[in-house]
């Protein structure tokens, strides 16, 4: 679970997508398993699949229990269809994280906690240079961080398993390998078995490089830093010396240092815990290795647990999720995150769309500025013309167009060259294009309406507030669909989504007036008291004997006439005002009838 990070949420408890991040699937009623054990804190929530992450948002406590897992941590996906009362599950196998394993090793073995300093150094070292390895079955060259072959799935071999008795659990192997690798050099040297050249053997191709090489001359694999190796060796020799000085419980007697590993391995298992702790900092790598072997059963299990996460789909939908997850994994969107600065986006867009990045010519002075302006214009033109070529292209370019619109409005904010009215109108057009990645039935599936409600809430709240806290559903429908661009929704979907506001605890309400008019209101506006009191005081503030009609109210408080009418009727129904129907239409007066006495 520690590989999941807390994520940012919008006020309506949807995830905030990162740059270029698009939500691809959503599924509710999903529980998390940490390894094989249910993760207590994450029993039921909504899982979002984006092209970069898997996000879990708890249904009960979304603020504190919302976490995300980058897809790049995942190297394997298994789908389990479910059987009888067991829900379908997707198991995600994760790449081990060094610090994570380190923690595990330590927490499992309190007895050797004293070695943590060195251990960490070793861990850091191993992290720094994980040598690539070649699968012994299919000969595929794998990245150092992989523990299984990317092609055939065969586990990474523990490199010196032939010479060493101890066989570390595979998932921990890279950590444990590091000290072994280090220790193997002096042993080899001392025993004179292998090449005694002062070079560094490449961990991948075994070529002995000059000690000052950073990369292998043959295969360019990163070599371990000779200086830190030297330091390690130094430390290790000190430890070995100290072991020799220890009481005879440990049979160090062997003079040849090459026998030390096996002797230690043999004796370590006999070591009482106290003795292990007195051997503080001694041959940490070895000790870790040997003691790990004692615990290997539990360690294997815990490391397996640490390196896999299960999503349990109690509400179904695992199949579609699995398919999309696989697609997202193979798309590897995270590898192509453009790294340009946000303010330089237009430029970057241009570069992207041109595919061949134009070299940035650094020319100072006016001509340089002119040229960059020209390039910008060209790029914008191209994006625009491409986008409008046909609808298909427009859909593809939607995100870019939105970015462009945002940039233009930002630019407008800076320059005041246009007159204000024009600017305002233009801005209004741009602003109403706001939703970059609209929630669709495809991406949200069963939770479509909930997601839609959240999206709608985020989008419409400022609009509704600008409109005075109330907006008719018709207007909402138009504005919302315009913002969604091509992903139009039906009135029924909108209606359903609006009805979910109370359930999702969002401060907007769909309200039906007696006449059948549907409006969206902010929660504060939802209170009849407030509206009717304000209308009553408005009427009372008029000159005595005057009245108010819907049109006057509408223009006074900037709402639609239909809505003003509804508010008047509502106030009337509460007995605060009374009506006068005449040839002049329906007008409302302070309710004198209610308190008149004759």
Residues that bind another protein (CB under 8 A): 543-547, 572-575, 578-582, 587-598
Q: Please, which residues have CB within 8 angstroms of residue 152's CB and are 6 or more apart in sequence?
A: 135, 137, 138, 140
CB of 459 to another protein, least distance (A): 38
**Residue carrying structure tokens 């861990």:** 123
CB-based burial of residue 451 (10 Å sphere; 0-12 exposed, 13-18 middle, 19+ buried)?
A: buried
Helix axes 116-128, 284-294, angle to 10 degrees: 100
Nearer to another protein, 174 or 588 (CB): 588
CA dist., res. 550 & res. 569, Å (int) = 9
Nearer to another protein, 292 or 591 (CB): 591
Given a contact cutoff of 8 angstroms between Cβ atoms, the answer to whether 262 and 99 are in contact is no
Q: Kindly state the DSSP code that residue 391 receives in the 8-state scheme.
A: H
Please give the C-alpha separations between residue 453 and each of 25, 517, 584, in angstroms, as whole numbers: 16, 20, 42
CB of 533 to another protein, least distance (A): 16
| 102 CB neighbour count, 10 Å cutoff | 21
Given a contact cutoff of 8 angstroms between Cβ atoms, the answer to whether 47 and 27 are in contact is yes
CB of 539 to another protein, least distance (A): 11
Nearer to another protein, 55 or 531 (CB): 531
CB of 540 to another protein, least distance (A): 10
Q: Kindly state the DSSP code that residue 336 receives in the 8-state scheme.
A: G
Give the tokens for residue 327.
């697609």
CB of 38 to another protein, least distance (A): 58
Give the tokens for residue 156.
């990474």
Give the tokens for residue 377.
């214009």
CB of 535 to another protein, least distance (A): 14
Q: Comparing C-alpha atoms, which of 25, 64, 18, 23 is closest to residue 41?
A: 64
Give the tokens for residue 516.
């059948």
CA dist., res. 26 & res. 210, Å (int) = 54
CB of 518 to another protein, least distance (A): 22
Nearer to another protein, 247 or 544 (CB): 544
3-state secondary structure labels for all residues of 343-373: HHHHHHHHHHHHCCCCCCCCCCHHHHHHHHH
Nearer to another protein, 346 or 591 (CB): 591
CB of 563 to another protein, least distance (A): 19
Nearer to another protein, 420 or 582 (CB): 582
CB of 598 to another protein, least distance (A): 4
Backbone angles phi, psi at 314, to 5 degrees: -75, -25
Nearer to another protein, 265 or 547 (CB): 547
Nearer to another protein, 28 or 590 (CB): 590
CB of 388 to another protein, least distance (A): 54
| 371 CB neighbour count, 10 Å cutoff | 12
Nearer to another protein, 268 or 536 (CB): 536
What is the SS3 assignment for 518?
Answer: strand
What is the SS3 assignment for 468?
Answer: coil
Strands (DSSP E) found in 421-524 = 470-472, 508-512, 518-522
Give the tokens for residue 174.
């890279």
CB of 532 to another protein, least distance (A): 12
Nearer to another protein, 11 or 585 (CB): 585
Nearer to another protein, 356 or 598 (CB): 598
Given a contact cutoff of 8 angstroms between Cβ atoms, the answer to whether 125 and 228 are in contact is yes
CB of 528 to another protein, least distance (A): 14
CB of 44 to another protein, least distance (A): 47
Q: Please, which residues have CB within 8 angstroms of residue 308's CB and are 6 or more apart in sequence?
A: 35, 91, 92, 93, 94
CA dist., res. 57 & res. 45, Å (int) = 5
CB hemisphere CA count around 269 (13 angstroms): 12
Nearer to another protein, 196 or 573 (CB): 573
Q: Please, which residues have CB within 8 angstroms of residue 476's CB and are 6 or more apart in sequence?
A: 456, 460, 464, 494, 498, 520
Nearer to another protein, 245 or 584 (CB): 584
Q: Please, which residues have CB within 8 angstroms of residue 171's CB and are 6 or more apart in sequence?
A: 96, 101, 147, 300, 303, 304, 307
Nearer to another protein, 84 or 593 (CB): 593
Give the tokens for residue 154.
């065969």
CB of 320 to another protein, least distance (A): 53
CB of 547 to another protein, least distance (A): 7
Residue 310 β-bridge partners: 33, 91
Nearer to another protein, 162 or 582 (CB): 582
Angle at 286 between CA 262 and CA 306, to 5 degrees: 125
């Amino acid at each position: 679970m520690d590989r999941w990070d807390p994520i940012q949420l919008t006020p309506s408890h949807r995830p905030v997508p990162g740059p270029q991040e698009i939500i691809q699937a959503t599924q509710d009623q999903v529980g998390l398993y940490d390894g094989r054990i249910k993760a207590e804190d994450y029993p039921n929530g909504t899982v979002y699949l984006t092209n970069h992450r898997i996000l879990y948002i708890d249904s009960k406590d979304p603020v504190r229990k919302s976490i995300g897992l980058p897809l790049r941590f995942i190297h394997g996906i298994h789908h389990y269809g479910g059987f009888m009362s067991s829900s379908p599950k997707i198991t995600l196998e994760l790449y081990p994280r060094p610090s994570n394993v380190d923690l595990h090793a330590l927490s499992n073995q309190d007895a050797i906690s004293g070695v943590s300093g060195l251990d960490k150094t070793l861990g850091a070292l191993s992290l720094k240079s994980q040598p690539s390895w070649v699968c012994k079955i299919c000969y595929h060259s794998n990245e150092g961080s992989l523990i299984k072959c990317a092609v055939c799935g065969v586990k990474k071999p523990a490199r010196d398993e032939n010479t060493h008795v101890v066989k570390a659990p595979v998932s921990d192997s890279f950590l444990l390998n590091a000290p072994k690798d280090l220790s193997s050099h002096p042993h080899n040297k001392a025993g004179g078995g292998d090449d005694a050249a002062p070079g560094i053997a490449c961990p991948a191709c075994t070529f002995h490089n000059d000690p000052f090489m950073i990369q292998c001359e043959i295969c360019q694999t990163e070599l371990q830093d000779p200086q830190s190796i030297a330091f390690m060796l130094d430390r290790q020799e000190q430890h070995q010396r100290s072991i020799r000085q220890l009481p005879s419980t440990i049979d160090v007697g062997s003079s040849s240092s090459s026998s030390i590993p096996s002797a230690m391995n043999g004796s370590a298992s006999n070591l009482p815990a106290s003795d292990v702790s007195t051997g503080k900092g001694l041959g940490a790598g070895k000790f870790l290795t040997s003691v790990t072997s004692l615990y290997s059963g539990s360690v294997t299990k815990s490391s397996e647990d640490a390196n896999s996460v299960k999503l349990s789909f109690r509400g179904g939908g695992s199949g579609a999720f699995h398919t999309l997850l696989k697609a997202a994994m193979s798309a590897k969107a995270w590898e192509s995150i453009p790294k340009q600065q946000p303010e330089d986006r237009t430029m970057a867009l241009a570069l992207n769309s041109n595919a061949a990045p134009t070299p940035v010519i650094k020319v100072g002075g006016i001509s340089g500025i002119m040229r960059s302006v020209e390039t910008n214009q060209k790029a914008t033109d191209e994006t625009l013309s491409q986008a409008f070529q046909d609808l298909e292209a427009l859909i593809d370019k939607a995100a870019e167009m939105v970015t462009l619109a945002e940039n233009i409005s930002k630019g407008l904010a800076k320059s005041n060259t246009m007159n204000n009215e024009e600017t305002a109108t233009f801005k209004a057009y741009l602003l109403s294009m706001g939703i970059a990645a609209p929630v669709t039935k495809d991406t949200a599936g069963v939770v479509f309406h909930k997601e839609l409600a959240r999206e709608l809430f985020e989008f419409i709240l400022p609009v509704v507030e600008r409109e005075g806290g109330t907006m008719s559903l018709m207007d909402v429908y138009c504005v919302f669909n315009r913002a969604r661009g091509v992903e139009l929704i039906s009135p029924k979907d909108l209606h359903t989504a609006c009805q979910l506001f109370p359930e999702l605890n969002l401060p907007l309400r769909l309200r039906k007036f007696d006449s059948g008019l549907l409006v969206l209101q902010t929660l504060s506006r939802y209170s009849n008291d407030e509206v009717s009191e304000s209308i009553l005081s408005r009427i009372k503030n008029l000159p005595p004997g005057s009245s108010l009609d819907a049109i006057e109210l509408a223009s006074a408080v900037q709402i639609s006439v239909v809505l003003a009418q509804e508010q008047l009727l509502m106030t009337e129904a509460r007995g605060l005002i009374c009506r006068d129907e005449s040839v002049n239409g329906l007008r409302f007066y302070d309710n004198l009838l209610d308190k008149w006495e004759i």
